[in-house]
Structure 1
Amino acid sequence: MAKKPVPCVGSPAFNPATRTKDAEARSNALTLLEGDHLSGAIKFWFQLPPDDTWTYHAMTAVTLPQVQRIVRLGAANGMHAWYSAPSPQKPPRTEDGDKDDDDVDAAAATTTTTTTKEPPPGALTPPSRADVDDYVRIFQPTSLTGSALKAFGSNAKKGSVRASVAANLQSRRFIHPSAAGLHIPKRKATASLPPNPYFDFWAWSCRNLEWCGPCPESEARPQSHHVLPVFMHHFGCAVPSYEGLEILRAVADGRTVADMGSGNGYWAFMLRQHGVAVAPVDNAQSEWRVSWVDDTTIMDGTRWLAQPGSAGGKDMVLLMVYPIVGGGAGGGVEGGFTRGLMAAYKGDTVAVVGTQNHNGYTGFRDMTFDEYMEREQPGWTKVVQVPLPSFAGKDEALYVYQRGERAAKLAAAETSKT
């Protein structure tokens, strides 16, 4: 029997189930974040010792004190230069697309005192705090996401970064015309909602890093920020939104979600908070400081689906959160993770959380998940593509596809309207 993971390395007291329900702890962590004390907020919320020196590995290795020093530098050394005039040639990728290898600028992690406040050549003026706040508001449970996104665009100044972000997100947002039930209503009261601590920390990062969302002007940025490895180890690679979680609950329709490549289990944990049954499966290739669930099956996803008890996931929803690209230093075949699971899956509903631009961070180097489905999986019907809260320099979305009887019902309903 596999040994249960430690909920948080270096924190004997941390328990995800009880900590997320501690309203006072959340309030204290938010106060620390308001003062840009990320290190303090992480240590307080995860009940870590004051002198914590655990090393977070990505393309470089950083500790909480180092990350805090970089946060204090602010926009120096181009660390907030997320937006620039698009280059005619995309810079080459320097990482292999695996979950624990998001690229950050190693030079800025050093303890050097040499800084420059001059923005990099071609950098655009950062968005205003109001623009950042309005971007965050799009994804709050109290917002009707589609309407908030439209307002985000209609209130943008012509030619601004905000206008470009709004156009980018609106052009990609899609909910099948016959899937009215997937337009998630806003929540007027949030007291009964399951807490989403990742969203709290992500919202702070948007304000601190001067980020108001992805657009063509941000796609060319070759590096991320040193905050990201900390977020990844504590929460995961992508931030779940209320809309995204509720869409998954709706398409699951009472079925179990097979979370393949579940990582540290944050999405599985949050889906369970929303009343969804989840079977987390991961091969333990990546290292995480925090484990949100203690029942992950350590196994290759295709092997798990092939088990008699799994039946190819025929009566389950297949979920892939930040599927690895593969084919680089991490080994494997480029695109093999996604293609292998799609071939092994016998069910009718697949959901993917990944990039919706061409930075090649998830699934495939040269195409997005919807492009892959159009080219190689014509038997599936696109049901959903909605933006997710994206970390600075990223552009994430939730995709949902269906086939068989469920897809046929959508098609029939659409035909009846014409």
Structure 2
Amino acid sequence: MVMTVTTSTGNRVTMYCLGSLTFVPSEAVKDEQTHNQVLQRLAETNDFATAIRTWFHLSDDVNAPEADEYVYHAIASVKLSQVQRAVDVGGAKGMHGWYRLEGGDLLPPPPQADIESYISIFLPSTATASALTAFQSNAKRSSIRLRSATYLLSKRYIASDWHPLGNQLIIPKTKKDSKTPLPSNPYFDFWAWSCRNLEWCGPVPISSSASTSPPASNTTDEAKKDDSNDTTNKIILTNPRMSHHILPIFMHHFGCAVPSHESLSLLKLFARGRSIIDMGSGNGYWTFMLRQYLSLGPTSSQSQQKVYAVDNNQSEWRVMWIDDTIIADGVRWLSSPSPSSSSSSTSCPSKGGQDMVLLLVYPIVGGDSSAAGGKEGGFTRQLMKAYKGDTLAVVGTQNGNGYTGFKGVTMDEYMEREWKEEGWRKVVQCPLPSFAGKDEALFVFQRGEALGNSEEGLGAGSGKAKKKKRKSGKQKDVEVENQNGEDQRDGKEEEQAEEKKEKEGPNE
């Protein structure tokens, strides 16, 4: 939680970052000069500690990393000075050993060109689907890049062929001459540096038995020869639980997962003018970014559309990005009667979150080994029972490593197993910028009228789902559809030309 403190001059200020009296999120993201200086310093010196201290305005008494006694508790307990020493070690002693052959030794790190190609997948200036295809088609045989690209493509799912929103689900790249600049996403920029520094070019399966789609059809004849020497399918993550000292710093200053332009745009699209509940909002970074994205473009319902950040405050964060987190038990907050006053925060504005989108970013599912305790999946199960809306978005692992999730089961597998009969259907699974050793994705599930009246939508729930036609004529739907349609038309010719260029490009 943010704190209000009294300075030596007697002024009362809100402290968003422990150790800084001047860091204000809404102002920091607009400070292009400091932002560019930090990125340049990272690129030239890899001085991560100074970059963090500079960006978050840590006070003079902690300008030397050794003087900063704050302990970051996450997957490990570290201080900023210790993290910088780990960065300085580089790849020695297997510190960058993210990939290996199953049953074999660690693999050499991927080339920087492959790392840059992985980062580019998530840039707002690229169309994710096209960038992923290029990531695969231009990869060398038996390379980490090819394994990662094939894996990510096999996991990606966008229900544009049958969902009522159709091709609007395919988020176009941003236009260079856009009159509405996108909000700054500092987490993405720090993450991109970490990929380069830690020599990470994307997740791969945790075992060779993991199913992936076949290699790209335009693989050269030479690459098809002597498949016995092709070790691509044997490349796996060295240790699904392995990470780096940088991650606790990222978690405390930004959050558990990096929001991408595609994921934020999809959440805005699925909201269709409705409010979003960021349940288990942590330090509020996703709420902060969503509020900026929801404010983009003309929307008549914009003043009523909100993002409610709800958290039980069981975790500690060095940085808070918002000052209006609702401290409450998620299930109780959802289940409480709707308040008579719209300004009340003691309960959900719409009981059960009906006509609201529910977002869970790395939810603690519950279980003996989790902070939520109880039977595994208990917390998630109770939350699902309490939620009365039709759109659930979950950010979490997609490789079954159990990282803050179910043991050996991904969120889509859990939803298929326990909630299919209630009409829930997966409509999106898209990769997110993943920290070294991790494998994050955005899952979106819907039910009822949100699925439309297609055969796929009506079939959800094995007969239990109500076969109603999706209501049409809602003004908020029309506005969102028109806006997305214009964006797609404006960028269509440029995108098609780029796709053609990527497909015709020679293999590396």
Mean CA deviation greater in 219-228 or 389-398: 219-228
Select the residue among 410, 423, 436 that pairs with 1:392. 436
TM-score by length of 2: 0.72
Question: 1:316-351 CA distances to partner (integer Å, 9 max, x unpaired)?
Answer: 001000111432163513222221211110000000
1:340 to 1:219, Cα distance in 2 relative to 1, 3 A: farther
SS in 2 for 1:323: coil
Native 8 Å contact 2:241 2:403 kept in 1: no
SS in 2 for 1:384: strand
Kindly state the Cα deviation for residue 307 of structure 1 after the two structures are TM-superposed: 1.6
Alignment gaps of 5+ in structure 1? 88-120
Select the residue among 148, 167, 172 that pairs with 1:180. 167
CA distance in 2, matches of 1:180, 1:414: 19
Question: 1:8-65 CA distances to partner (integer Å, 9 max, x unpaired)?
Answer: 0110100000100111111011012112111011000000130333111124321111
Matched residue type, 1:290 = V
Native 8 Å contact 1:354 1:396 kept in 2: yes
RMSD (CA atoms)? 2.1
Kindly state the Cα deviation for residue 221 of structure 1 after the two structures are TM-superposed: 3.8
CA distance in 1, matches of 2:238, 2:311: 29
1:355 partnered with 2:397:
yes
Select the residue among 179, 182, 191 that pairs with 1:202. 191
Corresponding position of 1:323 = 363
Select the residue among 39, 42, 47 that pairs with 2:52. 42
CA distance in 1, matches of 2:131, 2:123: 10
Question: 1:294-320 CA distances to partner (integer Å, 9 max, x unpaired)?
Answer: 111001110110121221000100100
Matched residue type, 1:401 = F
CA distance in 1, matches of 2:188, 2:92: 26
CA distance in 2, matches of 1:159, 1:283: 46
1:250 partnered with 2:269:
yes
Matched residue type, 2:153 = Q
CA distance in 2, matches of 1:245, 1:219: 31
Kindly state the Cα deviation for residue 2 of structure 1 after the two structures are TM-superposed: 9.9
CA distance in 1, matches of 2:356, 2:453: 18
Select the residue among 361, 373, 382 that pairs with 1:332. 373
SS in 2 for 1:84: strand
Mean CA deviation greater in 265-274 or 361-370: 361-370
Corresponding position of 2:93 = 77
Corresponding position of 2:280 = 261
CA distance in 1, matches of 2:52, 2:237: 27
Mean CA deviation greater in 347-356 or 305-314: 305-314
SS in 2 for 1:274: helix
1:346 to 1:160, Cα distance in 2 relative to 1, 3 A: same
Native 8 Å contact 2:363 2:404 kept in 1: yes
Mean CA deviation greater in 214-223 or 307-316: 214-223
Kindly state the Cα deviation for residue 363 of structure 1 after the two structures are TM-superposed: 2.9
1:271 partnered with 2:290:
yes
In our comparison, the structure showing a higher alpha carbon Rg is: 2
CA distance in 2, matches of 1:163, 1:2: 44
SS in 1 for 2:394: strand
Question: 1:56-101 CA distances to partner (integer Å, 9 max, x unpaired)?
Answer: 11243211111111100000111100001235xxxxxxxxxxxxxx
**Structure with higher RCO (Cα < 8 A, 6+ apart):** 1
Corresponding position of 1:99 = none
1:132 to 1:412, Cα distance in 2 relative to 1, 3 A: closer
CA distance in 1, matches of 2:96, 2:455: 45
Alignment gaps of 5+ in structure 2? 5-13, 206-235, 295-304, 339-347, 460-508
CA distance in 1, matches of 2:456, 2:427: 14
CA distance in 2, matches of 1:302, 1:11: 34
Native 8 Å contact 2:114 2:201 kept in 1: yes
Mean CA deviation greater in 367-376 or 274-283: 274-283
SS in 1 for 2:100: coil
1:183 to 1:414, Cα distance in 2 relative to 1, 3 A: farther
CA distance in 1, matches of 2:143, 2:111: 10
Aligned residues: 383
Matched residue type, 1:188 = K
Percent identity for Structure 1 against Structure 2: 56
CA distance in 2, matches of 1:230, 1:3: 20
Matched residue type, 1:42 = I
CA distance in 1, matches of 2:54, 2:454: 47
CA distance in 2, matches of 1:395, 1:219: 13
Corresponding position of 1:130 = 113
1:16 partnered with 2:25:
yes
1:312 partnered with 2:352:
yes
CA distance in 2, matches of 1:242, 1:345: 27
TM-score by length of 1: 0.88
Kindly state the Cα deviation for residue 414 of structure 1 after the two structures are TM-superposed: 9.8
Kindly state the Cα deviation for residue 220 of structure 1 after the two structures are TM-superposed: 3.1
Native 8 Å contact 2:451 2:457 kept in 1: no
1:292 to 1:260, Cα distance in 2 relative to 1, 3 A: same
